[in-house]
Structure 1
Amino acid sequence: MYELSGSQWYDTDAGPLVRPYAMTGGRTEPGSGGAHFDLIALVTPDDTASGGSQDALLGPEHRILLTLCRNGTQSVAELSADADLPVGVVRVLLGDLLESGYVRVSRPVPPAELPDERVIREVITGLRAL
């Protein structure tokens, strides 16, 4: 399974292992922006992001998340699964991207605010009657 090779840990099947705290710089919470990234929060790339000099500050994991977001709006859970990263790491990295203006985060409409099923059925029935 794991073996010590020189000063680095290796997984015989996966190769070098990078610990989650290395990807986040030891942080366990998103930055000071106060954003809360629960599993169903929706992440969308911000097309107005300027990039430029800040692009050089992005790590490979940040770039992976941005690439996944460009394919369409993704939930935090989907990003975590698609990037093969722990949710805690994804939350911290998304906090960085949000603070830098690369992404926008929104919440889906709560079920209590969705239209009642009865109303939707009445609309469908009315449309069919046309």
Structure 2
Amino acid sequence: MRAESPGPQHEWLDADAGPVVRPYTLTGGRVRPPVGLDVVAFVLADRAVNPADQPRLHPEQRRLVELARRPMPVAELAAELDLALCVVRVLVGDLLARGLVSVHAPAGATFLPDDNILKAVVSGLRAL
């Protein structure tokens, strides 16, 4: 005779949620990428790389490579994968270390207008 276990099992599971994987399992417990990645930096995959030929990649990393066939910002990759930004930054950093993608930082502001010019513009707009 088999005894009934007390209470329902796994009350925290939700059948509609599907499989739940904690972000740290994707990143191996890391929360910071191996290199500094700006959220607006563009990621571009090497066209010669076929993600299917990379057996050691996680499915999310394969999808990142596929999405990065055209230049895409890190923030947009996170939105497309529906993953936290910090997780995507770590995954992109790993792909960068393997040479599967390249990261292109946005051009910095080399010329900032003088405060007097900005004040003159504001004054002109107020006069309209």
Give the TM-score taking structure 1 as reference length: 0.69
Counterpart position of 2:44: 44
The change in CA–CA distance for 1:30 and 1:4 in structure 2 (over 3 A counts) is: same
The 3-state SS of whatever aligns with 2:36 is coil
Shift in alpha-carbon separation, 1:113–1:99, aligned structure 2, 3 A: farther
Q: Would you say 1:67 and 2:70 are equivalent positions?
A: no
Q: Which residue of 1 aligns with 2:32?
A: 29
Contact 2:38 2:105 in 1 (8 A): no
RMSD over aligned CA atoms reads: 2.4
Identify unmatched segments of 5+ residues in structure 2: 1-8, 113-128
Q: What's the CA shift for 1:16?
A: 1.7
Q: Tell me, which stretches of 5 or more residues in structure 1 are unaligned?
A: 115-130
Structure 1 residues 40 and 16: CA distance shift in structure 2, 3 A: same
Match of residue 13 from structure 1: 16
Deviation at 1:44, TM superposition (A): 0.5
- Who wins on radius of gyration, i.e. which is larger? 2
**Alignment identity in percent?**
45
Give the superposition deviation at 1:51.
7.1
SS state of the match for residue 110, structure 2? helix
8 Å contact 1:30–1:91 — kept in the other structure? yes
Amino acid in the other structure paired with 2:40: I
Moved more, 44-53 or 99-108: 44-53
CA contact (8 A) 2:52 2:62 kept: no
Return the offset for 1:49: 4.6
* Contact kept? 1:40, 1:75, Cα under 8 Å: yes
Q: TM-score, normalising length from structure 2?
A: 0.70
CA distance in 1, matches of 2:68, 2:44: 6
Post-superposition shift, 1:4?
A: 2.0
Assess, with a 3 A threshold, how the Cα gap between structure 1 residues 111 and 92 changes in structure 2: closer, same or farther: same
Alignment partner, residue 89 of structure 2: 91
Maintained 8 Å contact 2:43/2:102: yes
The letter of the residue matching 1:30 is P
**Counterparts in 2 of 1:28 and 1:13: CA distance versus 1, 3 Å:** same
Q: Are residues 1:4 and 2:14 paired?
A: no
